Amino acid sequence: MNISKWLVAARLRTLPLSLSGVILGLFLGGSELYRVNKGELINNITFYIGCAFFILLTALLLQILSNFANDYGDALSGVDNKERIGPKRGIVTGAMTLKELKIGILVITALALLSGIIAVTLCFYQDITALLLFLVLGALAVVAAITYTVGLVYGYKGLGDISVFIFFGLVSVLGSEYMIAKDISYLAISLGALSGFMSVLVLNVNNLRDYQSDRVTGKRSIVVKLGLKGGKYYHLALLMLTIIVAVYALTIIANIYALVIMLIAFIPLIKASFFCINIKNTDGALDPMLKKTSLGASLVNFIFALVVVFFY
């Protein structure tokens, strides 16, 4: 079995961002539980580590599922072709067949559902209402991951930004916090929005880079709808929203050290974003910024998680 082609299809560089939002939510939940019931967290630390493990595993599998489904849908639609800028996927290079990728989608779907059911059962075995609610939420996450480019193909209709904001932002952070602490804080709402806006920033870099090929293949991303110049203004708006919600979150934490640390943590993300906003930078020039924006956003989430633990 050729493992390398599956690693390529899994798009490993996308995993830190998807996991960082969940980790941020878990740290928020642990911090909230520690403040409310320190003894509960300490006395049952092994149990909560188990919950966190399956929550993270589910998030990881959902991201891989989304990547597999995107490769499958892009290959079927012709969006992914030899002229496309960026890494060449397995279908285009001939390293993988559509049948193999379809089997991979089914396997990862089954594993994600199993892991999700275990996570939800562990966290809510005493609360049937919350258990059923999160099972439905998990099922919606699976459907959203697959139908982004397969079936409904809402990602080709300019609706991907909304989905990314909801699932990579609000659901990742708020859902993870609630699964641990059984509560949602105002800080989590602001940080969920922060994670969501940063995730859309990453998606928009991809759409800015692929603007020309997306127009030709009929993929109606927000950038295609707005035009390249409009897409860059949209990127600036996303960056400003990201900074605004980050500032609001820092006012809740209200610690000068946290402010200084987060100002430093934001530098890579802001630097990459300004490069993307520059009207002179298009097509292949933006490809390195996809990785830099993703890692910059991941860094902000990870550092905010640590700030929550030490300064909130």
Tokens matching residue 95? 């390293």
- pLDDT-above-70 percentage for the chain: 95
CA distance 129 to 45: 24
CA distance 45 to 27: 13
- pLDDT for the residue numbered 80: 64
CA distance 68 to 8: 10
pLDDT at 75 over 90: no
Summarize pLDDT for 275-296 with one digit per residue, the tens: 999 999 999 899 999 999 999 9
CA distance 270 to 155: 26
CA distance 67 to 151: 15
Average pLDDT, the chain: 92
Q: What is the average per-residue pLDDT within 73-79?
A: 77
Q: What is the average per-residue pLDDT within 165-173?
A: 96
Summarize pLDDT for 127-151 with one digit per residue, the tens: 999 999 999 999 999 999 999 888 7
- pLDDT for the residue numbered 90: 64
Tokens matching residue 5? 């082609």
Residue 212: partners with Cβ closer than 8 Å, 6 or more residues away: 283
CA distance 59 to 199: 15
- pLDDT for the residue numbered 89: 65
- pLDDT for the residue numbered 94: 67
Summarize pLDDT for 20-57 with one digit per residue, the tens: 999 999 999 999 999 999 999 999 999 999 999 999 99
